[in-house]
Amino acid sequence: MAILQVRNVSKRFGGLQALNDVNLSVKEGTVHAIIGPNGAGKSTLLNCFVGRLDPDTGTVMFDGKSLLGIKPHEINQAGVSRVFQTPEIFGDLSLLENVMIPSFARRDGDFKVNWWPRTDNERDVKEHAEAVLQEIGLYEKRHELADSMSRGDKRRLEMAMCLSQDPKLLLLDEPTAGMSRADTNATIDLLKRLGETRGITKVVIEHDMHVVFSLADYVSVLAQGTVIAENTPEAIKGDQRVKEAYLGTEAE
């Protein structure tokens, strides 16, 4: 069963056709990677999933409901969370406070000024946040400031912030960008473990093919705003169209 369905989505910015009649189907419980050369339209497509952009044409359906015209925080409340290319965290707050905030925000519908004193279920939210940090491997650092963390830990912290909202669909925009190989492998192991324990559907945009082929059940390839191939990782490896998109028409 498809939890995310994209049909005939197009998006133009002036003279640039960023997306052109894109079709995509993400099965529930799978890891679906979206790959392609720089400028292929990957982040534009992801922004259409979360309400940051509205496509010019086409539909985006999540869990049987249209996401078009829906505000980003409403899409988040419906069960879609996103991990950004650059970690979006609160650097001057502790890891624990960072993970507590999204739980309150989802309950209230959006981030609030003076959110902490307004809550009446702080203990439950704190316990939930601690459990998520334990799951993600950051519990021992829960009282440290987020800005003091390594890049790898900041990425995991942002993932914990998403997981604290118990999403059905997790969108990861280059989750290992800038990481060392050790941190990259640790993130791969973490995402695999989350698939086993939570069964969350994941859409991953990634340039590192080691990450893609370690995680993905299915791969869609974007080139010049168009899906040119969609298949299993093994089939994608041997697809001549994919080789040409990355290496040119003389690819061997």
Domain that holds residue 214: 1-79+167-252
Answer whether residue 86 is part of any domain.
Answer: no
What letter represents residue 205's amino acid? Answer: I
Which candidate, 145, 72, 143, places its Cα nearest to that of 111?
A: 72
- The DSSP letter of residue 111 is -
Number of domains composing the chain:
2
Instruction: For residue 11, give the H/E element and its range.
Output: strand 2-13
* 252 and 171 both lie in a single domain: yes
* 148 and 213 both lie in a single domain: no
Q: Tell me the pLDDT tens digit for each residue of 114-141.
A: 445 444 567 888 999 999 999 999 999 9
Q: Tell me the pLDDT tens digit for each residue of 190-238.
A: 999 888 888 899 999 998 889 999 999 999 999 999 999 999 999 998 8
Q: Is 124 exposed, middle or buried (0-12, 13-18, 19+ CB in 10 A)?
A: exposed
* 52 and 120 both lie in a single domain: no
Residues 75, 194: Cα–Cα separation, whole Å: 21
Structure tokens at 12: 């133009």
Residues 134, 99: Cα–Cα separation, whole Å: 12
* 179 and 67 both lie in a single domain: yes
Answer whether residue 85 is part of any domain.
Answer: no
* 176 and 244 both lie in a single domain: yes
Reduced to 3 states, what is the DSSP secondary structure of residue 62?
strand
* 158 and 171 both lie in a single domain: no
Answer whether residue 248 is part of any domain.
Answer: yes
Answer whether residue 84 is part of any domain.
Answer: no
- pTM for the full model? 0.87
* 189 and 230 both lie in a single domain: yes
* 43 and 1 both lie in a single domain: yes
Answer whether residue 69 is part of any domain.
Answer: yes
Reduced to 3 states, what is the DSSP secondary structure of residue 237?
helix
Tell which of 166, 187, 214 closes a domain: 166
Q: In this predicted structure, what is the pLDDT of residue 112?
A: 47
Q: Tell me the pLDDT tens digit for each residue of 2-54.
A: 999 999 999 999 999 999 999 999 999 999 999 998 889 999 999 999 999 99
* 161 and 187 both lie in a single domain: no
* 68 and 189 both lie in a single domain: yes
Q: Give me the DSSP letters along 154-219.
A: HHHHHHHHHHTT--SEEEEESTTTT--HHHHHHHHHHHHHHHHHT--EEEEE-S-HHHHHHH-SEE
Answer whether residue 189 is part of any domain.
Answer: yes
State the Cα torsion 165-86-62-17 to the nearest 10°. 170
Tell which of 114, 133, 166 closes a domain: 166
Residues 23, 150: Cα–Cα separation, whole Å: 37
Answer whether residue 155 is part of any domain.
Answer: yes
